[in-house]
Amino acid sequence: MKNKLISVYIVTLMFGILLMPSLINTARADSQNVTTRWIVPADTTISLSFPNSESLITFDTPGMNFTNVSAKAQTGILAALRVTNAGNTAVKLSGAWTLDWPTGVTFVNISVTDDTNATKIWYTPANETSSCDWVASLAIGTSEDFWFWSSGANVAKTTGVDRTLTVTSTAV
């Protein structure tokens, strides 16, 4: 009986040894890929400044009839207005006046160079309050300068008629 007991003990011990690896939790390396996404809304912030040290765009005309009068303090190297893309995406720039100009003002043209013959953004009394495209794509952190000229015929005397020019940026 003693031998039988030893045999049962040995068989049980061997069976336990055989089962031991399955009873011990063995660590295995495994890896999975996970997609990570950042969703950042477009920021189309622009800033406006006046490189010519003015605080607005002024047309100081010589009289009631005038042709291609440049904005006050605008020079060959100093534009009347600078628009800077302060956002996080390229932007398209456009602009429009919020109210009609004084009667007799025939046009305002805007150019990205100090050249009255260069490609311009033309505004007339027919489209002064309509949005016109200025720049198709202004890159992040960059600026564009704009020169302004105006012409008029039989414009009534004023001591300063202000009109708001709204410059708009939209994501490209």
Could you tell me the domains of the chain? 46-171 (2.60.40)
What does the pLDDT look like over 68-109, one tens digit per residue?
999 999 998 999 999 999 999 999 999 999 999 999 999 999
What does the pLDDT look like over 112-164, one tens digit per residue?
887 766 668 889 999 999 999 999 999 999 999 999 999 999 999 988 889 99
Reported as type and span, the H/E element at residue 10 is helix 2-23
What does the pLDDT look like over 19-45, one tens digit per residue?
555 556 667 889 999 999 999 999 999
Type of residue at 164:
T
Q: Is 129 exposed, middle or buried (0-12, 13-18, 19+ CB in 10 A)?
A: middle
Cα of 143 vs its chain's centroid, Å? 11
Type of residue at 43:
D
Rounded to whole angstroms, the Cα distance separating 168 from 148 reads 17
In angstroms and rounded to an integer, the radius of gyration of the C-alpha atoms of the chain is 37
The predicted model scores a pTM of 0.78
Rounded to whole angstroms, the Cα distance separating 109 from 119 reads 9
**Do 52 and 80 contact (CB within 8 A), yes or no?**
yes
Closest residue by Cα to residue 137 from 70, 87, 67, 81: 87
